[in-house]
Chain A
Amino acid sequence: DQQVKQNSPSLSVQEGRISILNCDYTNSMFDYFLWYKKYPAEGPTFLISISSIKDKNEDGRFTVFLNKSAKHLSLHIVPSQPGDSAVYFCAASHRNFNKFYFGSGTKLNVKP
């Protein structure tokens, strides 16, 4: 099941700079997307979501962009902080189904 893909297993960014995490999906029926952050030994924590009727959603330092034609979404974190170091998962679903498909995650390391 590869409906949601995160092709970069890891990303390293300097503190204060922008982190850009990418996610691609194959199912054009997906209409709701989320980003989760996960620290070791903890469950995923919701970060930000976007519906397919929008192409951008912003919450503080976090912005999610959705490009429906390219079936691509990205999470921008600016400025990046060392506490942002974690694994980030994108997830997608369709309104008719009460389940999410997760990507494989990108491990972000923000260097002080």
Chain B
Amino acid sequence: EPEVTQTPSHQVTQMGQEVILRCVPISNHLYFYWYRQILGQKVEFLVSFYNNEISEKSEIFDDQFSVERPDGSNFTLKIRSTKLEDSAMYFCASSEQSLHTDTQYFGPGTRLTVL
């Protein structure tokens, strides 16, 4: 069964450094998402992406964050200058159609630790 994959599974970085989290969505999917979950808290929406542009973003997704689909398979989340509070699990998801007509499939997550 096709699945969303994410790399790395765990990323440790120093505060102020840039990180890039990578995701490979399911191949025929057109909509892509990033979520995060701070330890012990709820899953929070960050951004949705369709047709090579951001379609929705949350208040969390400020200028420090960016997303890109650099080729036909990868979908990346970049955090330009990490802060301690960016430490969280980051989940990528994809869906074939928009949220109201199709299911999102989540990847296993990348645990980001900012020291």
Interface residues of A (CB under 8 A from B): 1, 32, 36, 41-46, 49, 51, 89, 91, 93, 95, 97-105
- How near does chain B come to A41, taking the closest CB pair, in angstroms? 7
- Number of A-B residue pairs, CB cutoff 8 Å, is 59
Contact A32 B108 (CB under 8 A): no
CB-CB under 8 A for A104 and B41, given A32-B100, A98-B31: yes
Interface residues of B (CB under 8 A from A): 4, 31, 33, 35, 41-45, 48, 50, 55-56, 58-59, 91, 93, 98-100, 103-109
Chief secondary structure at chain A's binding surface: loop
A-B contact pairs, 8 of them (CB 8 A): A32-B100, A43-B106, A46-B104, A46-B105, A51-B100, A100-B45, A104-B41, A105-B43
Across the two chains, which residue of chain A brings its CB closest to B45?
A99
CB-CB under 8 A for A99 and B48, given A32-B100, A46-B103: yes
CB-CB under 8 A for A42 and B42, given A99-B48, A99-B99: no
Once bound together, how far apart are the Cα atoms of A49 and B104, in whole Å?
Answer: 11
Contact A41 B108 (CB under 8 A): yes
Across the two chains, which residue of chain A brings its CB closest to B50?
A98
Contact B91 A102 (CB under 8 A): no
